[in-house]
A and B are shown apart, each in its own frame.
Chain A
Amino acid sequence: MTKPKQAERSPESLLPLTPATFQILMALVDGERHGYAIMKEVEELTEGTVRLGAGTLYGSLKRLLEAGVVEEGAECADPELGIERRRYYRLTRFGLAVTRAEARRMEAVVRTARQKKLIGLRAT
C-alpha cells in the first residue's frame, strides 16, 4: 500500500470523516490497539450505541492505512485474550491532526446547534 505524501495534504482535506472512522480514531488516541480492542473501546466510548463489525472495522482501517492516518505497529499476543498474535494499529502524527480537525469541526457544529437552541446550553 502506498502512503500519500502527507506534506502535500492538510488534515482538513480528509474531512468530514464517517462516524465509524472518527470513533476508530478516537479509540486510538490513547495509544495503539488491536482490532478487537478498538471494537470494545468504540462500544465503551459510545455507550454501546456504535457496534463495529469486523468488515466495517477492517474496511475503515484499510482506508486509514492508505491515507497515512493510521500505521501498523507490532504483532503480538494480548495476554487478556490468549496466545493468538494480533496486529496493533496506532495513529500517525498526521492522523492525530486529522482527528483534532474533525473534533474541531464537530465542536463548531455543536456550537451552532446550541445557538439555535437545538440542544441544551453549556453548563459552566
Chain B
Amino acid sequence: MNTAERAYEILLRAYPARFRAKFGREMLTVFNDRRREMRARTLQFWAGVLWDVAQSAPALQLESVRERRGGHTQTQGGTMKTMAILAMLIGTLEVVNSMVEGYLGGVVNHGGASLMGGAVGIIAGALLFASAVALLKGSPSAGTLARSAAVTCFAVFLGVALVQPMFSIMATALGIGFPVVMLLYLAMSGSRGASSPGMI
C-alpha cells in the first residue's frame, strides 16, 4: 500500500464502521482509478478528495446514528410519542407554575420582574404544549414548531433564571434542560414531519 492509499484509508475512518466495511474496499479502488486519471493534478485531486469526505461523511455518520438509535419507524414513532407526552406535561407544568409565580410575586408582592417572568413563562409553556400536540398529530410543521418552542423555552427560562432567581428552581431547571434534550432528540431523529417525501 502506498502513501496516498494510506492517507485515504485514514480519511475513510471519518465514515461509519458499517459503511466502511461494505464500501471501503470499493472506495479505495475508485480512489486509485481517479488518482491515476488525475496524475498531473495532485493538488486539485486531493482538494476534491477532502471536499468529498467533508461533504459526505457527516451525513452518513448522522444516518448511522439514526439507524442505531431508532432505525425502525415503530421505535422512532414510540420515542417521538414519549417526547411529545413529556413536552405536554412539562409545558402544562410551566404554564401552571408561571401563573402561580406571576400571581404571587407580581400581583400580591408587586414585583414587576416576577410578573414579567410569569407572563413569558406562560407563553413558553404554552408553546411547548402546542408543539407536543403537533408532534402527536404528526403534522408536517411539527418538527419546526417543536424546535422553535424548545429554543424559546430555553431562552425564556435562562433569562428568568438570571433576572428572577426566586423563580421555582425545578420549573427553571426543567425549562432549561428539557428543551436541550428535545433539540438533541429532534436533531438525531431528523424529524421532517410525517408527510415528507423520502429523499435519497
Q: Does A97 sit within 8 A of B, measured CB to CB?
A: no
Q: Is the CB of B33 within 8 A of A36?
A: yes
Count contacts between A and B, CB distance < 8 Å. 76
**Any chain B CB within 8 A of the CB of A67?**
yes
Give me the interface of B with A, judged by CB distance under 8 Å: 15, 19, 22-23, 26-27, 29-31, 33-34, 48-49, 51-53, 55-57, 59-60, 197-200
What CA separation (Å) do A63 and B53 show in the bound complex? Answer: 17
User: In the complex, how many angstroms separate the beta carbon of B179 from the nearest chain A beta carbon?
Assistant: 31
Q: Which among A18, A54, A61 has the greatest number of chain B C-beta atoms within 10 A?
A: A54
A contacts with B: majority SS: helix
Interface residue? A62 (CB, 8 A): yes
Identify which of A21, A36, A55, A56 gathers the most chain B CB atoms within 10 Å of its CB: A55
Q: Mark A63-104, 1 if CB is under 8 A from B, else 0.
A: 110010100000000000100101100000000000000000
- Give the number of chain A interface residues (Cβ < 8 Å): 30
Alpha-carbon gap, A30 to B199, bound state (A): 24
A17 at the interface (CB under 8 A from B): yes
Residue ID in chain B nearest A12 by CB atoms: B197
Instruction: Give the residue name and chain of the B residue nearest to A51 (CB).
Output: B48
- Contact flag A56-B55 (CB < 8 Å), given A35-B29, A35-B30: yes
CB distance from A41 to the nearest CB of B (A): 13
